[in-house]
Amino acid sequence: MLEGKNALITGGSRGIGREIAITFARHGANVAFTDLVYDDIAKSVETEINGLGVRGKCYASNAAGFDETDATVNQVASEFGSIDILVNNAGITKDTLLMRMTEEQWDAVITVNLKSVFNYTKAVQKYMLKQRSGSIINMSSVVGVSGNAGQSNYSASKAGIIGFTKSIAKELGSRNVRCNAIAPGFIMTEMTEKLPEDVRKQWIQGIPLRRGGTPEDVANLTLFLASGLSSYISGQVISVCGGMQT
């Protein structure tokens, strides 16, 4: 489905980003991915991708840094030749009630989750505009649509991503560049492992399909949005949440 395409994924060493990287590679894409550090985990993703007969390379780069991002994107474009797909996946949580939330917790989540999407989209757009094609996929969340107590910083960052996505779809559509957002529900990764067992059980009880999602569930939707199968879909927010949000 992605034969001959070059993809760039942020936060690709673990969780959902890792699964997207490997799924894209299985479908024929060369994959550049970023993470905060180039460690053994990142190396294992590279090895898995290269074992699939396509190119995989990790770039240690903080998605929250504007200049750092621009330099990384230019390096990827020169080493891979083009960037056809961008997945803005990197994200963090610093959950607490507003009453206890510090300025640092607010700033960290907004900068890593929302500013990173601006940083990467801005740096990649020049290449996509020139080649007159591209698919940008931004990882939002169901709580960006519905809000969630104890996650005002995270929900605000994910709602911001939705506004950004819709605006970019309108700005870049005439050059055949699409931009969509994914709103995952409760997906079982290191991010959700941090939650107490009773909170996790409570979440699952509220899901019509009665299970947490897997990174693969999200990767399959990302693959669809990256591929030509979704060539007339732009500016949309699509949930992958087991029916939790309707």
Name the residues that contact ligand NAI, by CB under 6 A: 10-11, 13-17, 34-36, 62-64, 89-92, 112, 139, 141, 184, 186-187, 189-192
Q: What distance in Å separates the CA atoms of residue 82 and residue 70, rounded to the nearest whole number?
A: 15
Return the closest-CA partner of residue 157 out of 149, 166, 167, 147.
147
Residue position matching structure tokens 């963090």: 92
- Residue with Cβ nearer ligand NAI (120 or 127): 120
Q: Is 55:8 a contact under the CB 8 Å cutoff?
A: no
C-beta of 27: minimal distance to ligand NAI in Å?
A: 20
Q: What DSSP character marks residue 230?
A: G
- Residue with Cβ nearer ligand NAI (133 or 192): 192
**HEC letters along 123-145:** HHHHHHHHHCCEEEEEECCHHHH
- Residue with Cβ nearer ligand NAI (94 or 175): 94
C-beta of 11: minimal distance to ligand NAI in Å?
A: 3
The residues annotated as belonging to the active site are 154
- Residue with Cβ nearer ligand NAI (135 or 189): 189
Burial 113-130 (b: 16+ CB within 10 A, else e): bbbbbbbbbebbbebbbe
